[in-house]
Amino acid sequence: MSHPEMTYSLGHRRVNRLGYGAMQLAGPGVFGPPKDQARAVQVLRDAIAAGVNHIDTSDFYGPHVTNQLIKKALHPYPEDLVIVTKVGARRDQQGGWLPAFSPAELTTAVEDNLRNLGLEVIDVVNLRAMFDVHGPAEGSLETQLATLVKLKERGLIRHIGLSNVTPKQVADAQAITPIACVQNLYNLANRQDDALIDQLAQQGIPYVPFFPLGGFSPLQSEQLSAVANELNATPLQVALAWLLQRSPNILLIPGTSSPAHLQQNLASSALSLSKEIVLRLEGLSNNSD
């Protein structure tokens, strides 16, 4: 397969398709501060130095921890950096994930993100649907989107995206406001969104998969590991390379708190998978016909 074009539009900017997800910079369970703050700051600075210009975060990581680290490491931000956050959830005292879906909670969340990131306006705010914490579930997002549209009119948000949503919710949302990106669980093993990805690609809208390695059973991992060994790469590099080749509108946000892993993740863009290897990998899908 030919090497994929490595940039794509996100909102009003073009970004490198390999970005960085800040989730793992918080403590265990995405709760509390990291064990090593200096290392977390280093990973962020290394990402920017390596050409990353799309960072995915949320104020409910930590909570507040990852945004404060991003500000500490990178503020004042490079001109071309696109910071994407998400709202719609909050954490309880034990670190559980709860919906925070009222207009007041969404407004506070956007204001918290702005303050903790040290920004006047956020490039993209994703509304995370919380009808089911574990995956997309139908339900109306109309009230929540209306709240974000108001914040956009106030100049606090440039673009609105969606996370943890169904194809119907994407279509319904697009009737209310332009949608800048969709962020869902998708990887070699979990391919429920195949049709949605293709549809968004036709509209020029990025799809941002999370958990690129999530959902492998040991058997499938063995197959993935075998391919990785043949290519002299890590399983995660192969999974990321497959996503890059899957569709030009896929933007990746692998996260890590390790500078060495960061470089490994970014090197996956140089990995070209043959048609034969792609076919072998696609045999791993949990929902192939």
State the Cα–Cα distance between residues 227 and 8, nearest whole angstrom. Answer: 28
Q: Say what the pLDDT of residue 215 is.
A: 54
What is the pTM for the complete model shown? 0.95
State the Cα–Cα distance between residues 244 and 242, nearest whole angstrom. Answer: 5
Instruction: Tell me whether residue 61 is one of the annotated catalytic residues.
Output: yes
State the Cα–Cα distance between residues 130 and 99, nearest whole angstrom. Answer: 6
Q: What is the pLDDT of residues 197-226, one digit of tens each?
A: 999 999 999 999 998 877 555 556 788 999
Q: Where residue 20 falls among pLDDT bands split at 50, 70, 90?
A: very high
pLDDT at 182 over 60: yes
The helix or strand, by DSSP H or E, that contains position 131, with its residue range, turns out to be none
Beta bridge pairs of residue 2: none
Q: What percent of the chain stands above pLDDT 90?
A: 87
State the Cα–Cα distance between residues 286 and 217, nearest whole angstrom. Answer: 10
Q: What is the pLDDT of residues 82-129, one digit of tens each?
A: 999 999 999 998 888 999 999 999 999 999 999 999 999 999 999 999
Write out 225-277 in H/E/C secondary structure.
Answer: HHHHHHCCCCHHHHHHHHHHHHCCCECECCCCCCHHHHHHHHHHHHCCCCHHH
Number of residues written out for the chain: 289
Closest by CA to 111, choosing from 156, 153, 75, is 156
Average of pLDDT values for 53-79? Answer: 97
State the Cα–Cα distance between residues 153 and 128, nearest whole angstrom. Answer: 20
Average of pLDDT values for 236-240? Answer: 94
Which of 61, 77, 186, 207 is the catalytic position?
Answer: 61
Alpha-carbon distances of 158 from 84, 108, 120, 146, 207, rounded to whole Å:
10, 17, 11, 14, 18
Which residue shows structure tokens 């696609």?
282
Q: Where residue 1 falls among pLDDT bands split at 50, 70, 90?
A: very low
Task: Write b or e for each residue in 2-20: b if 16 or more Cβ atoms lie within 10 A of its Cβ, otherwise e.
Answer: eebeeebebbebebbbbbb
State the Cα–Cα distance between residues 282 and 227, nearest whole angstrom. Answer: 12
Helix intervals (H) in the chain: 37-49, 65-74, 103-117, 142-153, 167-174, 194-203, 218-230, 235-246, 259-267, 275-282
